[in-house]
Chains A and B, each alone.
Chain A
């Protein structure tokens, strides 16, 4: 009878041991995290939300480190509870990185389009001033050279608009903004020159 009890206890202990030894990494959650990170990367998080992307990657590293720590333990003592928490946190960071990337891309696109609009507005102002100057009754001889130079400068600036539009179309928003800012600065200088010329010839 005593032997029977011992046997039952042994079987129960073995069953428990095997059950405890069967603790597995949360593979489904880890796969979900990988998918989340891939989605964030495809949203160009590294380009448009570098801080959030780095945070997500750091979170993934934390998950890997915890997984490794658990894997290095004797099977009976492994626990993936903290791993699951870290995976959930990393998933959250991946989601945030994706959202930040989408927002960052939209912000970059808006900034590029706004910079282009501002540059076009300066060019429009230059066009209006050029029309006024051309229509001015008083056209001193020494003004003609200035006018031709201003027209040439305007042509050069106006030709740059196509390049900016093409950069925006190819989603090079940062490049487009840089070009548009440069163009606007030059167009503003041209407008100032035209206004100076207008005052000079009392138009």
Chain B
């Protein structure tokens, strides 16, 4: 991804202004040259529903986006996370050509990226800071919402290196399988909790924008 493209993404994101992750993670400085992904301001879709409840028990149980063991040929070491944004899948490499696969929601067009990062931090029921534009639309919202079941960040978060992106839960499980965010990867709360228990800080994460054979 070229710098000009990254800059364009930043400008687009800036104009859109739905900068949730950026606002939440203002203290997180990007690490240039590590991840190849766009340094676009992380956003959530306009359709975020702060205050909507999704409990820890909510998981995808049917269809291709249900958590399941699958055949997965990869040279990555067991324990590595591989994200295929085009497929809307996240894999935990298990070895022996197998992986545990989760359905995810990914960045909408223009907000998808690829790169190599590591889990730098983990948090249970992460806090959420609505972006100013959302406050303008929904002025009754608090300017900061401590973690909880009504929080759009969901039950768990795993921070991706020094980027503004993360793998997190959601209070909108119906968005799994769709391109809805602006770069973060979201799982249903029950699934992100399961993943959270399997992934220590330091875990390698490979994000592929196009499906690989």
Q: Do A and B bind each other?
A: no
Residues in chain A within 8 A of chain B (CB atoms): none
